[in-house]
A and B are shown apart, each in its own frame.
Chain A
Amino acid sequence: QKEVEQDPGPLSVPEGAIVSLNCTYSNSAFQYFMWYRQYSRKGPELLMYTYSSGNKEDGRFTAQVDKSSKYISLFIRDSQPSDSATYLCAMKRGNTGGFKTIFGAGTRLFVKA
């Protein structure tokens, strides 16, 4: 069983829709939770970073963490064609030398104009 599970999609939505992306995890040792956006043939860029359970909002993006259910979500409001990318969830747990980041497989999102 993978430590982090993420549906690879693809997910196709019309412009302006609310997008919901999700990940589940099995290891309660994860302490930090991130969402990265990756455009085709580019490196991942950090979108959201949370530590505790609850919601964190940044513009059109809201990250939600539910540690009791081992479930994290990313919501995108008023989605735009420029949001079309792969969204990777990632989580950090303690490791030798600090913390280790485990990534989900990524969900491919297409926003149609």
Chain B
Amino acid sequence: EAEVAQSPRYKITEKSQAVAFWCDPISGHATLYWYRQILGQGPELLVQFQDESVVDDSQLPKDRFSAERLKGVDSTLKIQPAELGDSAMYLCASSKGPQGADTQYFGPGTRLTVL
């Protein structure tokens, strides 16, 4: 069964450092999502890609976060500089398309701890 891959699974960094997370969606899935899940809360959308284009980054803190999906396949989410409040689980998900009936499949997530 195809799965969404993410790496690293865990990342510990000091504040003001740069971190990067990688996601490889299910093959053939055109839509890719990055979510942030703070402990005890549900996932919140940071950015949504349709192929290589950003279609929603309204909740992405653009002063420190950036995301790219250059060839419309895998994607990277970067934080620079990291802050204490960035400690959370970063989840990547993918779906065949952006429509309501398209199911999102989640990866295992990257747990970030900022010291």
A positions within 8 Å CB-CB of B:
4, 6, 8, 31-32, 36, 41-46, 49, 51, 88, 90, 92, 94-101, 103-106
Contact = CB atoms under 8 A, between A and B. Distances in A.
Please classify how large the interface on chain B is, using the bins under 10, 10 to 19, 20 to 34, 35 or more.
20 to 34
26 contacts: A8-B40, A31-B100, A32-B100, A32-B101, A41-B109, A43-B4, A43-B107, A43-B109, A45-B106, A46-B104, A88-B43, A90-B42, A92-B100, A97-B55, A97-B56, A97-B98, A98-B48, A98-B50, A98-B98, A98-B100, A100-B48, A100-B56, A101-B45, A104-B42, A105-B40, A106-B42
Interface string B85-107: 00000010100011111011111
Contacts of A98: 31, 48, 50, 55, 97-100
User: What 6 A-B pairs come out closest when comparing CB atoms?
Assistant: A98-B98, A97-B55, A103-B42, A43-B106, A32-B100, A99-B100
B14 interface: no
Contacts of B43: 44, 88, 103
A71 to B, nearest CB: 17
Nearest to A8: B40
Contact of B106 (A31, A44, A106): A44
Determine the main DSSP class of A at the interface with B.
strand
A88 B106 CA distance: 13
Contacts of B55: 96-98
Contacts of B91: 43-44
B40 to A, nearest CB: 7
